[in-house]
Structure 1
Amino acid sequence: MNNTYRLLKDDMDFFLAALSQVRVSVWHVQEDGQHIIDYGGPVEAFSTVFIKIMGKRYFRNTFEFRTQK
């Protein structure tokens, strides 16, 4: 499958996204489809529990984080 996005998964992915200030979008993926939650922005902070984008915190184990290739 050839996606037009890159999925961010580990700390290094989020570190590089924060460093380069790329736009990261937030998605909620369910069995019946994918739903965009936030068109996003640059990563402001991250931990093992959450990602902070544009002043909002999103749980890493609940959402999917993507950047364009």
Structure 2
Amino acid sequence: MNRVNYTYRVLKNDIDFFAAALSQERVSVWQVLEEGEKLMDYGGPIEEYSPLSIKIMGGRYFRELYEFRTKK
């Protein structure tokens, strides 16, 4: 059995974003496609979040287009 050891956690719901914003965790922004994944922004702390987007270091990223990760 293959076990994947993830060194990051994916933020998915409002409570994840709230906790990351409160603790000022560095959140990176990724684009995940069938061909692979691409780092879009090394990130930083979350400045704002809404049901549509996340604001990190002055940039806004749509939640439905990107994956948001923080270290475990």
TM-score category by the smaller chain?
over 0.9
**Other-structure match for 1:47:** 50
Q: CA deviation at 1:29?
A: 0.3
Instruction: Provide the aligned C-alpha RMSD in A.
Output: 0.4
**Other-structure match for 2:12:** 9
**Other-structure match for 2:62:** 59
Unmatched runs of 5 consecutive residues or more in structure 2: none
Question: What TM-score, normalized by structure 2, do the two folds share?
Answer: 0.94
Deviations 1:4-40 (A, max 9, x none): 0000000000000000000000000000000000000
**Other-structure match for 1:32:** 35
Q: How many residues align?
A: 69
The ranges of structure 1 where at least 4 consecutive aligned residues each deviate by more than 4 angstroms after the TM superposition are none
Aligned-pair identity in percent equals 64
Name the aligned partner's letter for residue 61 of structure 1.
E
SS at match of 1:48: coil
Larger Rg: 1 or 2? 2
Name the aligned partner's letter for residue 50 of structure 1.
S
Q: CA deviation at 1:2?
A: 1.5
Question: What TM-score, normalized by structure 1, do the two folds share?
Answer: 0.98
